[in-house]
Structure 1
């Protein structure tokens, strides 16, 4: 999918920007609201995305073991701190990814489970992981009636209104 690291980095930036737009919709009072017992809050989801990108993905592609330790409020408490943590972990991760050599990019990475996978495929999985949690953020906010931005410019009703009739 990503023949070159630069293409991946560009796409990573766009994925991060889309997620960040949703994160900015979280009202501070609802940051730690959970929809049901044993479920994650929006704050948990954002801290998780930040921590796993930096402390699992960035570490493992660098040839180091995962240092991911969770998503709790100890990492960042309150919306300003969560946003700062999210942005800081992304910036650190992106710098680590950008420093990968072509050999590392085309090489293999060992996952925390001990499997080996192509580095670019491992980082592609990270993007899928982020999309998964972004969807959870949309659902969590939707359950609270929070208006969220469409991912690519049109909401579903707007898209349907622009559709050509089938015939």
Structure 2
């Protein structure tokens, strides 16, 4: 999917961010330092990482500057309220950069930290995929802790199955 215009992209990205915030809002404050394995991102690290990579890598390179990402440690924000404030503050800074782009800017190339030149619209698409990837990890982390997580689109898989009709053999045979 090529991105042709900034306003529809920002509308879409807002919805992606709303789904990310829904999962962050169920994170128990006393579990921010939990990780499934020593040396891996904690829950707090995951949240800070989404914020810092968006702002300091994606937004900076989109603005024509080099990546300024320096990690996602507790020194940036510690404690649930501080992490949430930091997360939202960096997102607003990123949005300011994205809102300043023209539709023509989407065809301009930026340089990734790996020194690859890429059209801005493709880099913005990668940013969304990155957030979704880490949101999925948050779901797994919280499920491992037994935390009830919100369904992504309103229904759980079990509720979708319950509201669906059974499949007969004809529906699964592409030759019929």
**Per the shorter chain, which TM-score range?**
over 0.9
Structure with greater Cα Rg:
2
Which structure 2 residues correspond to residues 22-33 of structure 1 after superposition, within 5 A? 22-33=23-34
Q: CA deviation at 1:103?
A: 2.5
Alpha-carbon distance in 2 for matches of 1:85, 1:60: 20
Q: CA deviation at 1:102?
A: 2.4
Aligned residue pairs: how many? 167
1:62 aligns with 2:63: yes
After the TM superposition, list the runs of 4 or more consecutive aligned residues in structure 1 that deviate by more than 6 angstroms: none
Given that residues 55 and 93 in structure 2 are in contact (C-alpha distance below 8 angstroms), is that contact kept between their aligned partners in structure 1? yes
Conserved? CA contact 2:4–2:106, under 8 Å: no
**Alpha-carbon distance between aligned partners in 2 of 1:7 and 1:142, rounded to the nearest angstrom:** 33
Counterpart CA distance in 2 for 1:102 and 1:36 is 43
Unmatched segments (≥5 aa) in structure 2: 169-176
Alignment partner of 1:72: what SS?
A: coil
Matched, 1:13 2:14: yes
CA distance in 2 between partners of 1:118 and 1:22 (Å) = 31
**Runs of 5+ in structure 1 lacking a partner?**
none
Q: How does 1:1-167 map to 2 (within 5 A)?
A: 1=1, 2-167=3-168
